[in-house]
Homo-oligomer: A and B are copies of this chain.
Amino acid sequence: MPSYTAPTKDMQFLLHDVLNVTGSQTPGYDELEAEFTGAVLEEAGKISSEVLTPLNAVGDSEGCRFENGVVYTPTGFKDAFEQMKEGGWTGLDMPEEYGGQNMPYVLGTAVGEMFSASNQAFTMYQGLTHGAASAILAHGSEQQKNTYLPKMVACEWTGTMNLTEPHCGTDLGLMRTKAEPQDDGSYKITGQKIFISAGEHDMADNIIHLVLAKITGGPEGIKGVSLFIVPKFHVNGDGSLGARNGVACGKIEEKMGIHGNSTCVMNYDGATGYLLGEEHKGMRAMFTMMNEARLGVGMQGLAQAEVAYQNALEYAKDRLQGRDVTGVKNPDGPADPLIVHPDIRRSLMEQKSFAEGARAFILWGATLIDAAHRAGDKDADGLVSLVTPVIKGFLTDIGYDMTVKAQQVYGGHGYIEEWGMSQFTRDARIAMIYEGANGVQALDLVGRKLAQDGGKHVMAFFELIKSFIKENSGDEAIDRDFMEPLKNASKDLQAAGMYFMANGMKNPNNALAGSNDFMHMFGHVCLGYMWARIALAAKAALDGGASDVAFYETKLATGRYYMARQLPMTTTHLARIETGAEPVMALDAANF
């Protein structure tokens, strides 16, 4: 059975040594003293390891059960959900006026990684509620906020997001769900939504569905889409629950993974809905929380990679198989542990250097979101908007690969379900798909974000890297191992951007054919940047006489691995990009 140990020490190092959160001007960051964040992370780690981790395999093997319109969650989920509520975890970064604790998003993100790593399917019930509550917080009327938020922040009521229909996922302009205006200002919602995570379950008194639909008589396509609140049970004026609304779960899907989360077909049959935000501005309302939601999914990629790595590492230390070719390491045993073998190490170093770099990347992104939301920092908002598709797409693509590598360390034991490694791979797979499939992330990055505000944000990103290198150069080893590789990778990325500018005007496919490669290059540069920042912090700690020498030296060695062996991928990505549209678009569709 897999185990999970929360990376509290690494998170503390990142928050304080690398990101220096208390030195930030962002409101609320002054509260993030090391002692305080340490205590929060410690508690979150405890509930992750002790409550959520043991339920992960249960959720996978039992799955959800659908009977007569009711969805039953796996054994133990309900109790665990109660514990999460009692611990106040569901409202950690929500406003105090609705019962939350108003902590910065960066702390919620660190805690969220732990919850996701220990039980992704379970954590989604809460995560979706958070997303729906954020939308109501941003776009709801006072009355809507007061009606729904206190219950949702406490997770007494959970939330969902209803976008997809059978014939449309990415292209929501094709949507058919209708909203008919009623005399009392409400709407009657009719249509079918699919792939609705947590759409129906037995852990909450009410479920608040946020539903995209088209108001009859409104504009065609995506411009006619509005967002509605559709509660499962009507809410009376006094806050008590009334009759069932006209929404029901039609079935739940059999899936590759996240079996513990109910993926529902939701049928709306004249259900009463309430407009959230403005008419026909449903997509805008959805998108205001997209940065946050996509960062959350990127985090899932990291989280599954982390927990899979932890278990692969344990196995590699325990399992005796073969001998170290450079000399026996375990002379008293029948064989040496797997970890002596270079190719096993290569795999473990890839996993470790990815997970730690990705964690820094996500926490950095979260500080940008905090700066944007809490301090109105427009530059931070532009920068995080630029890197959001990278966080989502790159971290879930590579995060998935890493779970596959971790599974491989187990050999045949990785393929059977008994050891739990298959689940990490199967669960991680969804993160590449939902909240905008990764191809859509690459399209968003290259087709929209690069040119946003006249290219200002991508220029700012390159300037950030450049001045970072300039300001921190001078140490020979750091320059050679970190700054030079970062400079080279960043040059590759800029060259790719130049290629797009020079060739995308005459044919946009010259850019779009390289979008996936560009997203991956960008990811490598961001992780390289993070590792350079980590290296500086580790070196400073060592120079300052820190007692835990092994911790900081391990950081430096892990970073050197990433810079030397992973960052050179930018060369191949650039070469691929510079072939342009021709190789990709050469065939007629009929000739494939």
The segment from A10-18, A149-157, A556-564 found at the interface with B is A556-564
With A255-B417, A256-B425, A576-B568: A408-B583 Cβ-Cβ less than 8 Å: no
Q: Does A505 belong to the interface (CB within 8 Å)?
A: no
Interface residues of A in 299-333 (CB under 8 A from B): 313, 317, 320-322, 325-326
4 tightest A-B CB contacts, nearest first: A342-B512, A256-B422, A568-B575, A557-B586
Structural contact, A415 and B437, CB atoms closer than 8 A: no
Choice from B346, B433, B584 contacting A561 with Cβ under 8 Å: B584
CA distance A517 to B404 in the complex (A): 17
Task: Please report A residues at the B interface, Cβ cutoff 8 Å.
Answer: 164, 167-171, 173-174, 194-195, 253-257, 263, 313, 317, 320-322, 325-326, 334-335, 337, 339-349, 352, 400, 404, 407-408, 411-412, 414-418, 422, 425-426, 429-430, 432-434, 437-439, 442-443, 447, 507-509, 512-513, 515-516, 550, 553-554, 557-558, 560-561, 564-565, 568-569, 571-572, 575-576, 579, 581, 583-587, 589, 591-592
On chain B, the residues within 8 Å of A170 by CB distance are 321-322, 411
Quote the shortest CB–CB distance from A34 to chain B (angstroms): 23
Copies of the polypeptide in the assembly: 2
Shortest Cβ gap from A175 to chain B (Å): 11
Asked if A437 and B411 sit within 8 Å, CB to CB, the answer is: yes
By the criterion CB–CB under 8 Å, are A335 and B560 in contact? no
Complex Cα spacing A414 to B325, Å:
43
Query: Which chain B residues lie closer than 8 Å to A515 at the CB level?
Result: 342-343
Q: Which residues of B contact A317 (CB under 8 A)?
A: 589
Most buried by B among A340, A346, A348, A513: A346
Given A325-B512, A442-B343, answer yes or no on A587-B558 (Cβ-Cβ < 8 Å): yes
Q: How far is the CA of A524 from the CA of B447 in the complex (A)?
A: 31
> Chain B CB within 10 Å — which of A343, A425, A432 has the most?
A343
Is there an interface contact between A516 and B343, defined as CB atoms closer than 8 Å? yes
CB distance from A303 to the nearest CB of B (A): 18
- A434–B412 CB distance below 8 A: yes
Closest to A344 in B: B439
Residues on B with beta carbons closer than 8 Å to the beta carbon of A591: 550, 553-554, 557
Closest chain B residue to A416 by CB distance? B253
| Bound form: Cα–Cα A443–B338 in Å | 14
CB of A195, distance to nearest CB on chain B (Å)? 5
In the complex, how many angstroms separate the beta carbon of A480 from the nearest chain B beta carbon? 13
When C-beta atoms are compared, the residue in chain B nearest to A353 turns out to be: B583
Q: Which residue of A195, A344, A515, A584 has the most chain B CB atoms within 10 A of its CB atom?
A: A584
In the complex, are the beta carbons of B342 and A581 less than 8 A apart? yes
Nearest residue (CB) in B for A352 is: B592
Q: Which residues of B contact A433 (CB under 8 A)?
A: 408, 411-412, 414-415
Q: How far is the CB of A10 from chain B (nearest CB, A)?
A: 13
Q: Which residue of B lies closest to A412 (CB)?
A: B195
Known: A408-B439, A437-B411, A439-B408. A417 touches B325 (CB 8 A): no
- Our pick among B352, B414, B509, B553 for the contact of A342 (Cβ within 8 Å) is B509
Complex formed: what's the CA distance from A447 to B507 in Å? Answer: 48
Pairwise interchain contact B565-A576, C-beta atoms closer than 8 A: yes
